[in-house]
Amino acid sequence: MGRLQGKIALVTGGASVPGLGSATAHRFAQEGAVVYVTDRDAAGAEKVAAAIRDAGGQAVGLSHDVTSEADWDQVMATIDKDHGRIDILVNNAGIAVLRPIAELTTEDWKLQNDVNLNSVYYGTRRAVAAMRKVGKGGSIINISSVAGLFGVPACGAYAASKGGVRIFSKAIALETARDLIRINTVHPGMILTNMQDVAQEDNAANYDATVALVPMGFMGEPDDIANMNLFLASDEAKYITGAEFVVDGGMTAQ
Ligand SMILES: NC(=O)c1ccc[n+]([C@@H]2O[C@H](COP(=O)([O-])OP(=O)(O)OC[C@H]3O[C@@H](n4cnc5c(N)ncnc54)[C@H](O)[C@@H]3O)[C@@H](O)[C@H]2O)c1
């Protein structure tokens, strides 16, 4: 029996390949979950869902801009109509606006926080309500970053959004602990995805120096994060809430 057999999961930002959302969706489906793969790139989300189905899993691709409350309502209503419950939410969708403070515009700041932080509030609020209605608990995994734990130059807006995700998750975890709704954050270090390509272009000056900070000396793979998400989503993590998990090749140990 799979580690997520029979569970209903939603993974946002799942279109990117290689990406943390698509890797997570594949791992969840391999372990028996029905996975809703959503993204503002609807065609990409459906492509990932189709690949999961081709591999023998159960997945649905949906259009979903995580900054839109109307989209959140629609996605949650679809899952409720199909299954009457949601067991797992991974708030994974994100962007990285990496600019020094002198170059950072107010527009950048608002966009960064809207996509990475406000979205986590929209999703968590709705998932908590849906999980409470069923009364059987659940697991919410909010993807933060090592940049939500320590300072990185040219990273102010991104760091603020990811630090916000971390402490928001702890606060709500305390509110939902008695409901057995577990809320945890995952803090990836440098993982090889499409986002890293963009980060490299935007911030070439700091890029090599940042990789040099990884004690293991290389970047991680999307499955390194997907496997952590899988553990937190599963009942193996039933006594874990309000906690933060780094997957970073040792970066934060320094
Ligand atoms: N890759 C890393 O090294 C790394 C490190 C730390 C944290 N993270 C975090 O992990 C998460 C996933 O990152 P990734 O590396 O897979 O990035 P990625 O760019 O490869 O994928 C991100 C996905 O989010 C989607 N997305 C962006 N804005 C959206 C919106 N408004 N609505 C819906 N979908 C939207 C994109 O279309 C894309 O499919 C992000 O939250 C990111 O901040 C990544």
- Give percent of the chain above pLDDT 70: 96
Strands (E), the chain: 8-11, 34-39, 58-63, 88-91, 138-143, 181-188, 244-247
Ligand 1 neighbourhood includes 123 CB (under 6 angstroms): no
Ligand 1 neighbourhood includes 16 CB (under 6 angstroms): yes
Q: What is the pLDDT of residue 210?
A: 72
The pLDDT of residue 207 is above 90: no
Ligand 1 neighbourhood includes 224 CB (under 6 angstroms): no
> Residue 125, Cα to own-chain centre: how many angstroms?
15
User: Among 13-22, 74-83, 136-145, 205-214, which is the least confidently predicted range?
Assistant: 205-214
Residue carrying structure tokens 């943390």 = 20
pLDDT, averaged across the chain: 96
Query: What residues does 63 pair with on adjacent strands?
Result: 39
Tens digits of residue pLDDT in 62-74: 999 999 999 999 9
Average pLDDT over residues 215-242: 97
Tens digits of residue pLDDT in 117-167: 999 999 999 999 999 999 999 999 999 999 999 998 999 999 999 999 999
CB contact at 8 A, 189 and 246: yes
For residue 92, report the distance from its CA to the centre of ligand 1, in Å: 6
Tell which atom from ligand 1 comes closest to the C-alpha of 66.
32
User: Among 82-91, 211-220, 221-230, which is the least confidently predicted range?
Assistant: 211-220
For residue 195, report the distance from its CA to the centre of ligand 1, in Å: 6
Q: What is the pLDDT of residue 208?
A: 78
- The domains located in the chain, with CATH, are 8-193+222-236 (3.40.50.720)
Which residue has its alpha carbon closest to ligand 1 atom 1? 191
Catalytic residues: 158
DSSP state string for 111-138? HHHIIIIIHHHHHHHHHHHHHHHHTS-E
